[in-house]
Structure 1
Amino acid sequence: MPYVTPEQIERAKQMDLLTYLQYYEPHELVHFSGNVYTTRTHDSLKISNGKWCWWSRSIGGRSALDYLIKVRGMTLPEAVLQIDGQAAIMLPVPPNAQEPINQGNLLLPEKNKNNDRMIAYLSGRGIHSDLIDYCIRTGRLYESREYHNAVFIGFDRQGVPRYGTLRGTCGRRFARDVCGSDKHYSFSIPSRSERQRLHLFESAIDLLSYGTLELLSGRNWRQDCCLSLAGIYRPKKNIEESTPPAALVQYLKDFPSIDSIVLHLDNDAPGRLAAKAIKIILSPTCTVSDEPPKRGKDCNDYLKIALKIRQPPERE
């Protein structure tokens, strides 16, 4: 096994994948569109804004070192020596590599020419067309060109996309965050006015399911703010030592007028534990009520029960 020094490892970490391929494997680099590149060997691997993501395997990274280990299957010493040996004879930087890279951008998948499969999938889960149309119109939702996933987007207060999550629409269970996502800015829908109440959900589909139930009940589905936690919140073993979910912390910082929170987390053990923890942590600062779905595991289950929708289980 070859030996590499900590200094060599640190140097190797500094090289991004686009630069590595431009210099040392230009035959492997393929321009895809705009500032997005792919590789000749793996056309589902996309490189953009200083990051790369291999969509078919749901793995990604920033550096060439990550790529050589995760994609090429090299050991750490082999990958370091591959980069370090090449860097020793580094050529002058080509003009297109001198442009600064915005490390803060998401590596969002390309949009499909239409949203038909995504709409059919969400409609099949009971989501009302008014909510789907609103999310598409406001840029919160679209269908990806590759694999036709539903892409849910989260924004910061300036309206900049900072988070993305994918949901499979073809009958196979698939859920992944987009490379470069910041969980502080998860999928959310604001109220029509400055409301002081926030509804909290584990997923974007649960959020839209709750909104659909409100609409079908004749209520204003945008009366209050709604936020997805981008997955299951896992508190520490000692709950009092836990911090609230990152998305919730950021939302309360951005909207300090909120003084009450309604939890609609899942009816399973992780969901009940998460609800208990959030109540304990936040009760001193605001009113927290726990309102899990009355039937089923989550809000979407409850919606499908209410609408008498029978869906085949998603394949793994």
Structure 2
Amino acid sequence: MSGYVYFTDEQKQRANAVDLEDFLCQQGEKLLKSGREKRLASDHSVTVRGNQWYDHASEKGGCAIDFVQMFYGKSFPDAVTMLLNGEQGQAYRSSEPRRPEPPKPFILPEAHTDMRRVYAYLTKTRSIDRSVVSVFAKAKMIYEDAKYHNAVFVGFDQDGVARHAHKRGTYTQGEPFKGNVDGCDPRYSFHHNGQSDTVYVFEAPIDLLSFLSLYPQGWQRHSYVALCGVAEHALLQLLEENPQVKKIGLCLDNDKAGLKARERLTGILAEKGYGEAFSLLPRQKDWNEDIRTQKTAFTQMPATGQAMQMA
């Protein structure tokens, strides 16, 4: 679009009220369920809900118009026109006005009588070492919820009080459910405090467990934290509680969002005086893909007596 374009306040309001989930689906974008929000398949750091969006990597967000400007590289007039579908008027349904929601108290999901389904999902479907899962299960940091049989990954504060829980669906058909329990404190996501001077940082609990399965020797000496996303809050809390930690291994996903988050976290850590941050990249997209790829390669090897070399 060229030249000066005038939009009335009513047009701009309608454009900014467009439901982004509906709009993106009509643009052919794939969205993944993430709790109450939807996450862009092409960039996992961006979530949308109604007419609002948020980029967890850059910690920026807004409404429909500036989303189209950012995501599609459009000027303000072009963004408004795109949202209003040119001269055809309102082609996308508007989101319902959002009422302020009172904060919900944090309550752990009710536990199932056993965790057979979660053990099977983590050890068979995800190829995680059973002994690693057992350590966290005995500490009540992993369990199976009673209602949906999700795997629940619990984060405790320094007093042993549960403050955070991340749920992951165990069904193998379709896109699995994943999301945090309402009322979580982001400073206390799934983590392990060790005694060494090193912490390893992951996006998801399953990646953390996969890494321990790949490199099990003496793992309990070190510290580990799953951010359950890419925000830095849980890492900074762990560093505050463990002053002996000086070396920080960023083990985030090997994709666009993970690489962008590495750069941002490195800057935050440098500002706080942590100069010994280093990156460990999985060979595939993430550490669980690495361990599943390795298992597949091992099971398909001819019986020549050769040992499978660890990554």
| TM-score, scaled to structure 2 | 0.60
Q: Which string of whole-angstrom CA distances, capped at 9 and with x for unpartnered residues, describes residues 191-241 of structure 1?
A: 2xx2111000000000000000012xxx212231000111134xxxxxxxx
In the alignment, structure 2 segments of 5+ residues that lack a partner are 1-33, 38-95, 299-311
Distance 2:293 2:122 in 1: 15
The amino acid of 2:119's aligned partner reads I
User: For residues 1-12 of structure 1, what are the structure 2 equivalents within 5 Å?
Assistant: none
C-alpha RMSD over aligned residues:
2.7
Secondary structure class of the residue paired with 2:284: coil
Match of 2:215 in 1: 214
Match of 1:131 in 2: 132
User: For residues 1-40 of structure 1, what are the structure 2 equivalents within 5 Å?
Assistant: none
Match of 2:87 in 1: none
How far 1:273 moved relative to its partner? 0.8
Whether the 8 Å CA contact 1:105–1:162 is kept in 2: the answer is no
Change (3 A) 1:113 1:200: same
User: For residues 128-277 of structure 1, what are the structure 2 equivalents within 5 Å?
Assistant: 128-171=129-172, 172=174, 173-191=176-194, 194-215=195-216, 219-233=217-231, 245-277=232-264
Whether the 8 Å CA contact 2:250–2:262 is kept in 1: the answer is yes
Match of 2:277 in 1: 288
Whether the 8 Å CA contact 1:140–1:154 is kept in 2: the answer is yes
Q: Percent identity?
A: 32
Change (3 A) 1:199 1:232: same
Whether the 8 Å CA contact 1:166–1:177 is kept in 2: the answer is yes
Distance 2:235 2:118 in 1: 27
How far 1:182 moved relative to its partner? 0.8
The amino acid of 2:177's aligned partner reads F
User: For residues 39-78 of structure 1, what are the structure 2 equivalents within 5 Å?
Assistant: 58=35
Whether the 8 Å CA contact 1:155–1:187 is kept in 2: the answer is yes
Distance 1:107 1:306 in 2: 38
Distance 2:227 2:264 in 1: 14
Match of 2:46 in 1: none
Distance 1:249 1:140 in 2: 20
Whether the 8 Å CA contact 1:126–1:309 is kept in 2: the answer is no
